[in-house]
Structure 1
């Protein structure tokens, strides 16, 4: 019972604070740095071939940038699909992304920053193979109102060198 009363009191305090400010919790401009990705996109590889479609929207009172990805082609009878949750973590002052997909895969980027019109994510080290640790870097570059680049890289030597895993050009879908 004590926990319930505490939760109700905390909820009331938060609601009063939000009402007094007249703003939503994620209305600070830092939360809007990645808004250039919001919209519906077609993604193309560097060979010009369509890689997939991506719908990016704001959810949870504009605190989360939500991605819904679907690959353009089937791979072994499966159309690869995934979702990501992107948010600015005010406590760590970092952008973060959590990715999940329909093959059971996940990626987590807990370090992210906005600079030079880019969101740059990096992962913590993870086991790549029996004897190899790796880190991933993912960079979103705003190329204008209707275009952006998503470049995914991996390093197996603690960031000394990087290899491209994918390089996509997003083109905004026309209505």
Structure 2
């Protein structure tokens, strides 16, 4: 074996030894938003046709998806008569409170907060005004139906939650095909 071949063999052996002693790559850290508490609103995730509850009157389509590494739920609301809007909902793991920001087709935004209550997601915030100009406190209650639909039932209060009245009632049905 010539000097050049012997030197090349020695270099290759040295390289193989160095490769074998290299530390294995660090494991991927666990996803902090894969914890069970971040799944409390997953029943709403899907592609939906939205109807006035109890009717065959479709008012919108809606896409609900997990985003931001599973740390948030985003709705893209597409009413049949234009306008549209989006919400982004996430859990604050330090307080256990869910927060939603809604931005619709008109200027402004609405903040809701709440969390799971008896198998439903309940979010409350101030949205709009009544005929006398008083701020409406709105409570939205999302419940999963036995048929896989999701009901979003809204109630409004003009006395800071002492009394509540119906505001809206929608049923999200899984989009076909």
Under a length normalisation based on structure 1, what TM-score does the superposition of the two structures give? 0.77
Q: Provide runs of 4+ in structure 1 moved above 4 Å.
A: none
Two-structure CA RMSD over aligned residues (Å): 2.1
How far 1:135 sits from its partner (Å)? 1.3
Matches of 2:172 and 2:128, distance apart in 1: 30
Runs (5+) with no aligned partner, structure 1: 1-18, 74-78
How far 1:127 sits from its partner (Å)? 7.5
Under a length normalisation based on structure 2, what TM-score does the superposition of the two structures give? 0.77
Which has the larger share of strand? 1
Matches of 1:174 and 1:126, distance apart in 2: 32
Please tell me whether residue 55 in structure 1 is matched to residue 63 in structure 2. yes
Is the CA contact (8 Å cut-off) linking 1:36 and 1:145 kept in structure 2? no
Residue number among 33, 56, 60 corresponding to 1:26 in the alignment: 33
How far 1:154 sits from its partner (Å)? 1.0
Equivalent pairs counted in the alignment come to 150
Alignment CA distance shift 1:70-1:58 (3 Å)? same
Residue number among 134, 137, 140 corresponding to 1:135 in the alignment: 137
Question: Which structure has the larger Rg over C-alpha atoms?
Answer: 2
Runs (5+) with no aligned partner, structure 2: 1-25
Alignment CA distance shift 1:22-1:87 (3 Å)? same
Matches of 2:79 and 2:59, distance apart in 1: 6
